[in-house]
Amino acid sequence: MTSSGDTPDLDAVADLLDVLDLKHEGTTRFGPLDASTDPDDNHSHEMDLYVGRSQETPHKRAFGGQVLAQSVMAAGLSIRANAGLDERPIHSLHAYFIRPGDSLKPISFAVENLRDGRSFSVRRVYAMQNGQTLLSATLSFQVPAEGLEHQSEMPSVPEPDRVRTTPQELEGIDHPVADHWRSRSIDVRTVEGALFFQPGRQKYAAQNVWMKTITQLPEDPLIHAAVMAYASDYTLLESVLRKHGLVWSDPRLRAASLDHSMWFHRPGRIDEWLLYQQESPSASGGRGLGMGRLYGIDGTLLCTVAQEGMLRLKQD
């Protein structure tokens, strides 16, 4: 499952690319079975249908970032299938995680064309298993354009080669979940220290994470956007955990992503180092809010990310 030493399994990236290689299965007249099938209902529009496999996880629940990334691919492929449209990179997505998926089963993605305008294309994607909706997302794509320009500055933090790797953080720990973390396709390095088993030394609702794929990706910008969405779901709620002195392995913790939004400001590559600056402005009602900015190593602001998650502590 993992290779020895500090190097993750190099086949992990090939596996991720295979997961993102969705198969077009034609069209479907209706959306998910738990939506209305009234022919006059909005859900009765003809939709492109794509299917992709899942990555097995230790708890057998499909990773939310995987489903999010596959939704990016499905929406982007449906736009590319329209020969009358120029290349339109993604500029935003807004998704709700509705129920968990089974990581041992494939997932179907029904893509509804909401609009193709002169500058923007909008798609709605339903990720489904067993006729039930796992995720619903709206994604918007735009023809590249000129306009006003400004961005926030990238914070000054230690370079990635001075930050501990995931295998170094997990050295000496023999557990299936630790093996899974070690074998990921994304090299994740948290400047303030990972929150796998040890809480942070300071209870501060912010952190900085370096990340990139462990090997090079194809040149396709849609794949890079999808993998950014995939990786953006790994650590965004950790600012909440850090503030409260918690770790992922805490047996009391019940965590689940509720929604996820991304704004893609500028093109970038995730097979080169990105800095993920994260903070949590609020936690209340059993929920925590994470905000993040993804910077290229040259300081270019590539994406802004927001996610709210359920974070509950089970009482004895």
- Do the strands 120-129 and 132-142 form a parallel or antiparallel pair, or are they unpaired? antiparallel
For residue 239, indicate whether it is catalytic: no
Pull the structure tokens for residue 131. 């006729």
Nearest CA to 96 out of 60, 129, 68 is that of 68
Alpha helices in the chain (DSSP H): 11-20, 64-80, 166-169, 176-182, 221-232, 238-243
Q: Phi, psi (5° rounding) for residue 254? A: -120, 110
Which of 121, 207, 277, 307 is an active site residue? 307
Can 233 be counted among the known catalytic residues?
A: yes
133: left (phi over 0), alpha (psi -120 to 50) or beta: beta
Q: Which of 70, 92, 103, 257 is catalytic?
A: 257
Closest CA to 188 of 173, 210, 169, 159: 210
Query: Hey, is 2 helix, strand or coil?
Result: coil
Catalytic member of 66, 185, 233, 278? 233
SS3 sequence, 93-161?
EEEEECCCCECCCCEEEEEEEEEECCCEEEEEEEEEECCEEEEEEEEEEECCCCCCCCCCCCCCCCCHH
Q: Which two tokens stand for residue 103?
A: 């990581």
Question: Looking up tokens 């990706």, which residue turns up?
Answer: 217
Can 307 be counted among the known catalytic residues? yes
Dist. CA 308–CA 256, nearest whole Å: 9
| Most distant pair of Cα atoms in the chain: their distance | 60
Any idea what DSSP says for residue 35? Answer: S
Q: Which residues are catalytic?
A: 233, 257, 307
